Amino acid sequence: MQCKVFLMSLCFAAVSVQVFAQEANTIVLKAPAPRVIKTDTIIKNAGPEHKSLLALNTAPANAPFKGVPLAGHKAYYGNMTDYVNGFVRQYFGAHNKTLNVVQGRGNNKFSMIDNVLTRHNIPTELKYLAVIESALNNKALSPVGAVGPWQLMETTAQMLGLKVSGKRDDRTDWFKSTNAAAKYLNTLYDQFNDWLLVVAAYNSGPVPVQRAIQRTGSHSFWDIKKYLPRETQGHVLAFIATASIFEKMKGFIGSGAIPADFKFSNENLDASAAAVPPKPKFTDEELKSMAIVRINEPLNLDFLSDELSIDKKLLRKWNADYDVFLYGVASTSEDFYSLRIPKEKLDGFIEKKQLIMRRSAQLFAAESNIL
């Protein structure tokens, strides 16, 4: 039996095209599939770089770790700061009710998790990884067999010292599974030295992250992002959003709104006023030259840009909220996204929509099968 978890399965439908005279009132987004640690492939094919998995029961070193970058951390995010802040705002609006439920569960679990993570010298913000893995449900079961609050596969759990049998499954034990997850997080941090890369590797396994680093020569998540599986990209963004919301905006959870003047910073801000965050705005000239098509299946914007000869910067600017749809954040009961393209490209889009759909699906499948 599959448990109901925080992030539900992402279902794709066929693309339908509809031109609107004006901007749609709401953007409808979907939720991604439950997240699963795919370390069993690594364990079965462990090379020298993975031999440390065999010694995961040893006590962690006491060296200080760098902190987890939350929204508003300009020194870390640089020119991606506004993008991250915007994503977190939309994520908050999409998941406010569920976050409220999880916040209630966290009142009973976060203290214990904090204690375990601290003992392993891991930033306590990593507890929010359990939120996006299982919504703090220790009985959560994924379709591929990952179990517990940290969604550990059987082979991985056993390598981490947990007992998994017909009569006993330590993956459902809060204390034991959290200790096991902490050991694995330490191992990943020793390898990547960056918590966002750790979250990425926790989702996809270390190999896709290693390959992306080798391909780009960079250890920045933003540089390697497009070379990671699409689910993993969304997993990291969901972690950033969840951690930022609980650490910086928890007073707004359940209220359904964030103050319009709220700013992400390391300071405590006054939360007295409440207003819905403003929607993206366009100039009158942009609106006159813009066609809006309704899609209910994610498309690869880079391929769309190349195929229709649309300027990539313009396409990204007009669809700054598209990544939230791509990575599956559900905000309403509708199943579409209002894609904005230049009017002169509309006929080409209609003519080539099947090709764009087919090629996008192939590109996304290739990302998912990177292992």
- DSSP letter string over 232-285? HHHHHHHHHHHHHHHHHSGGGTTTS-B-TT---SSS-------BPPPPP---HH
pTM: 0.63
Token pair for 75: 């020194």
User: Is the Cα dihedral 149, 242, 295, 311 positive or negative?
Assistant: negative
Q: Tell which residue, 204, 201, 200, has the closest CA to residue 236.
A: 200
Q: Where are the chain's structural domains?
A: 69-252
Q: What is the pLDDT of residue 361?
A: 82
> Please, how many CA atoms are within 13 Å of residue 356, restricted to the half-sphere of its CB?
24
- The amino acid occupying position 240 is I
Q: Distance between CA atoms of 183 and 185, rounded to whole angstroms? A: 5
**How many beta carbons lie within 10 A of that of residue 279, not counting itself?**
11
Q: What is the pLDDT of residue 249?
A: 86
Q: Distance between CA atoms of 174 and 136, rounded to whole angstroms? A: 10
Q: What is the pLDDT of residue 290?
A: 93
Tell me the CA distances in angstroms from 81 to 85, 200, 290, 339, one per residue in order.
Answer: 6, 19, 27, 23
CA dihedral in degrees (227, 232, 237, 240; nearest 10)? Answer: -120
Q: Distance between CA atoms of 359 and 371, rounded to whole angstroms? A: 20
Q: What is the pLDDT of residues 123-156, one digit of tens each?
A: 999 999 999 999 999 999 888 889 999 999 999 9
Q: Distance between CA atoms of 305 and 319, rounded to whole angstroms? A: 12
Percent of the chain topping pLDDT 70:
73
- Residues 356-369: what's their mean pLDDT? 74
Q: Tell which residue, 214, 331, 315, has the closest CA to residue 277.
A: 331
CA angle, 62 then 68 then 70, to 5°: 160
Q: Is the pLDDT of residue 370 over 50?
A: no
Under 8 Å between Cβ of 265 and 70 = no
Q: What is the pLDDT of residue 13?
A: 23
Q: What is the pLDDT of residue 12?
A: 23
Q: Distance between CA atoms of 244 and 174, rounded to whole angstroms? A: 23
Q: What mean pLDDT value characterizes the chain? A: 75
Alpha helices in the chain (DSSP H): 40-44, 74-77, 81-119, 128-134, 154-159, 174-192, 195-204, 206-216, 221-224, 230-248, 284-288, 301-308, 312-318, 322-326, 346-368
Q: Distance between CA atoms of 230 and 367, rounded to whole angstroms? A: 6
Under 8 Å between Cβ of 264 and 88 = yes
Query: Which residue would you say has higher pLDDT here, 335 or 50?
Result: 335
The CATH number of 69-252 is which of 1.20.1580.10, 3.40.50.2300, 3.90.650.10, 1.10.530.10?
A: 1.10.530.10
